[in-house]
Structure 1
Amino acid sequence: MLTIISATPSPYARMNRIALLEKGIPFELKNEIPWHESETQTPLYNPLEKLPILLFDDGREPVYDSAQIQEYIVQKFADKSPRLVTGDVDNGPQSEADPDIMKRDEDKQSKSWLNRQNRKIDGALKAMNELAKSRKEGSDYLLADVMTIADIAVICAVGQVDFGGVRPGWQDKYPELAAYWKSLDATKNFADTKPVMFDLKHNTVV
């Protein structure tokens, strides 16, 4: 049995959970708020105190990088459908979409930090819209006729933009991306893992 330690708003953990669900791999989900020092178990498994963390019940060392967790899922369970990879290294990105688009309180923002985040968000949305536009006619997916980890990463990244409310009106500006996102995000494994904000007991800096 695998265990995922997650935070409910985490787009990174969401990507790993969706990959496991799509492949039908059973796992236990434990949600934590790692900033609650007296309650969290996160530091026991990850010295960086970041989530998600993948735990094994046979005592193996945990994996606490979401990209490595995703790679483990794809490689370890390659015999289970969907494979989540195209098998073609020249066929575009597999999972290169950064879902970590968060908001700081205004008093914790610097102009240079804010400008950089805005460039990242706008650049990512534009690139993902072009990717959605270039899909094979009639396909629900980005790179193939089946889902890949690129689809999972993009849906989670776009979901984080929408969840955080950082780009009001983005669906009108990027209609191809919006249509693709709405269609896939409504399917069961995506709908069941949508981000939920947790209740922080004190202010934190993201």
Structure 2
Amino acid sequence: MKLIGSLTSPYVRKVRIVFLEKKVDVDLEIDNVWAADTKITQSNPLGKVPCLILDDGEAIYDSRVIAEYADALSPVSKLIPADNRERATVKTWEALADGVLDASILARLEMTWKPEDQRSSAWIDRQTEKIQNSLRQMSELLGGNAWCHSNQMTLADISVGCALGYLLFRFPNIKWQAQYPNLDRLYEKLLQRSSFIETEPPKA
């Protein structure tokens, strides 16, 4: 299998972590979707990463679909519960974390793609509000628990960890660590795992 992605995309990082936790080998093919010579649309007409190319050539996207597919490939480290209610809870956590990423990227594009005099501060504020609301909800849901769901790491924790890591990477001005110490404890615990260490985005 081949995973098309980038080293800085938090969505790609999420599925890379899933594959590592599942101990399933997948080749990473780097592609810059913003470059003129990108080839991603040959595999995903939406022009987004990650995109998983199966051995028979079929393409699977987006990150939520790939993560669920990967979790079923190996019995190691079951990340999505089989029980329907528990499964929905974990997937809701994933949706919440992905929503933080969606809002973050929309705000970043507004700030980096447009000249300063054409940027919409109202749009950036709207996305920032989504991020803040979601962080507050994450903290309330986590409470004093060691993990987002149940007594072991699931896809919920991976998704949250990738979202928190992306905020530190691109939005260090959002001081979520001081505001939500329980999220910080979870994040620091995740950072000790080899899957998170191996997928840390480049600093430059």
Smaller-chain TM-score bracket:
0.7 to 0.9
What secondary structure sits across from 2:79 in the alignment?
Answer: coil
Q: Structure 2 regions of 5+ residues with no counterpart? A: none
Q: Which has the higher contact order (CA 8 A, sep 6+)?
A: 1
Q: Is 2:133 the partner of 1:123?
A: yes
Q: Matches of 1:32 and 1:151 in 2, distance apart?
A: 26
Q: Matches of 2:194 and 2:171 in 1, distance apart?
A: 23
The answer to whether the 8 Å contact 1:132/1:180 transfers is no
1:13 corresponds in structure 2 to: 12
The answer to whether the 8 Å contact 2:50/2:62 transfers is yes
Q: Matches of 2:144 and 2:173 in 1, distance apart?
A: 23
- CA deviations over 1:79-108 (Å, ceiling 9, x no partner): 521110233443433322123323223625
Q: Matches of 1:125 and 1:109 in 2, distance apart?
A: 25
2:41 corresponds in structure 1 to: 43
The answer to whether the 8 Å contact 2:5/2:31 transfers is yes
Using structure 2 for the length normalisation, give the TM-score: 0.84
Higher deviation after alignment, 6-15 or 86-95: 86-95
Identity of aligned residues (%): 33
Pairs within 5 Å for 1:88-103:
88-91=83-86, 92-94=89-91, 95-96=94-95, 97-98=97-98, 99-100=101-102, 101-102=104-105, 103=108
Using structure 1 for the length normalisation, give the TM-score: 0.83
Amino acid paired to 1:195: P
Q: CA RMSD in A?
A: 1.9
- CA deviations over 1:29-67 (Å, ceiling 9, x no partner): 1111122222x22121111211111011222x2012111
Q: Is 2:78 the partner of 1:83?
A: yes
Alpha-carbon offset, residue 73 of structure 1: 1.3
Q: Quick one: structure 1 residues 123 and 24, their matched pair in 2 at CA, closer, same or farther if it must change by over 3 Å?
A: same
Higher deviation after alignment, 179-188 or 85-94: 85-94
What secondary structure sits across from 1:93 in the alignment?
Answer: helix
| Higher helix proportion | 2
Q: How many residues align?
A: 189
